[in-house]
Amino acid sequence: MLVRSGVSFDFTFTIRNQGNAAAPATRVRAFLSTDSEITTSDEELDGTSVRALDPGESVEGEASITLRGPLGAVAYLGVCVDPVEGESDVDNNCSAAIRVTVTGSPDLVASVSPDSVLVAPGGSGNSEYAVAVHNQGDAAAPATRVRTFEVGVLGGHDLGRNGGRGVRRAGARPGGVGAGEPPR
């Protein structure tokens, strides 16, 4: 399973009472391990209550997990149910592990140059600017769209989104941006 560093994902699990008697309510906890065996001594990530279960009854649960780590880091994810009084077998209270590999995330930042334009009274009001998009994340970004908007006041008149007379919007045309590689 691939997960993005710093991005939350939902982890679903099923708890089943395999015994021959009703099990009282208990707690299930998600763990992160450095090896493929999940135990309660691993790093606890999240926990939730489990209602009482009749023999053979199952219930599904979900935990929202966020993992952070270096690109390519491998860890193991699983759950353990807290034992209940009179439980016939506590050696099966932890799940098998799911191998997770941490991948990067794109982080696009847009900048405009220059960041402001001043037009002197009586001036023509023409301005030019450039938009740059930089991926400062640690994974490639898919192609996306850049949209520019101008908002300002010229001679007491709101230019709004589409500019006004005498204002040339060089570089303000929406356009596509190719996929970007992260910095090296």
Same domain, 74 and 7: yes
pLDDT over 90 (residue 97)? yes
Which amino acid is residue 113, in one-letter code? S
Whether 152 maps to a domain, the answer reads: yes
Q: Which of 77, 103, 129 represents a domain boundary (last residue)?
A: 103
Residues 13/97/105/175 CA torsion (nearest 10 deg) = -60
Residue 60 shares a structural domain with residue 42 = yes
Q: How far apart are CA 168 and CA 162, in angstroms?
A: 10
> Higher confidence at residue 174 or residue 28?
28
Pair 9, 92 in one domain: yes
* Residues 12 and 80 grouped into a single domain: yes
pLDDT of residue 140: 75
Strands 98-103 and 8-16: unpaired
Other CB atoms within 10 A of residue 161 CB: 9
- Same domain as 160, residue 83: no
| Residue 184, domain member (yes or no) | no
The amino acid that residue 116 corresponds to is S
Q: Within this chain, do residues 61 and 86 fall inside the same structural domain, yes or no?
A: yes
- 89 and 8 fall within a common domain: yes
Residue 22 placed within a domain: yes
pLDDT digits (tens, 9 = 90+) for 104-155: 777 888 887 776 666 666 655 556 667 788 888 777 778 888 776 655 554 4
* pLDDT number for residue 175: 41
Pair 115, 168 in one domain:
yes
- Chain-centroid distance of CA 125 in Å reads 43
Give me the CATH number covering residue 75: 2.60.40.10
pLDDT at 17 over 90: yes
Asked if residue 113 belongs to a domain, the reply is: yes
End residue of a domain, out of 60, 82, 103? 103
Quick count: other Cβ atoms within 10 Å of Cβ 10?
8
Q: Give the 3-state secondary structure percentages of the chain, helix then strand then coil, rounded to 5.
A: 0, 45, 55
- 91 and 113 part of one domain: no
15 shares its domain with 55: yes
pLDDT at 117: 62
Given this model, what pLDDT does residue 128 score? 67
| pLDDT tens digits along 30-78 | 999 999 999 999 999 999 999 999 999 999 999 888 888 777 889 999 9
Q: What is the per-residue pLDDT for 63? A: 87
Residue 147 pLDDT: 75
Which position has the higher pLDDT, 152 or 6?
Answer: 6
What's the residue count for the chain? 184
Looking at residues 155-180, what average pLDDT do you find?
42
Residues 81 and 8 in one domain: yes
* Residue 121 located in a structural domain: yes
Could you tell me the residue range of the domain that residue 169 belongs to? 108-177
Q: Which of 103, 123, 151 is the last residue of a domain?
A: 103
Number of domains composing the chain: 2
83 and 144 part of one domain: no
Say whether pLDDT at 164 is over 80: no
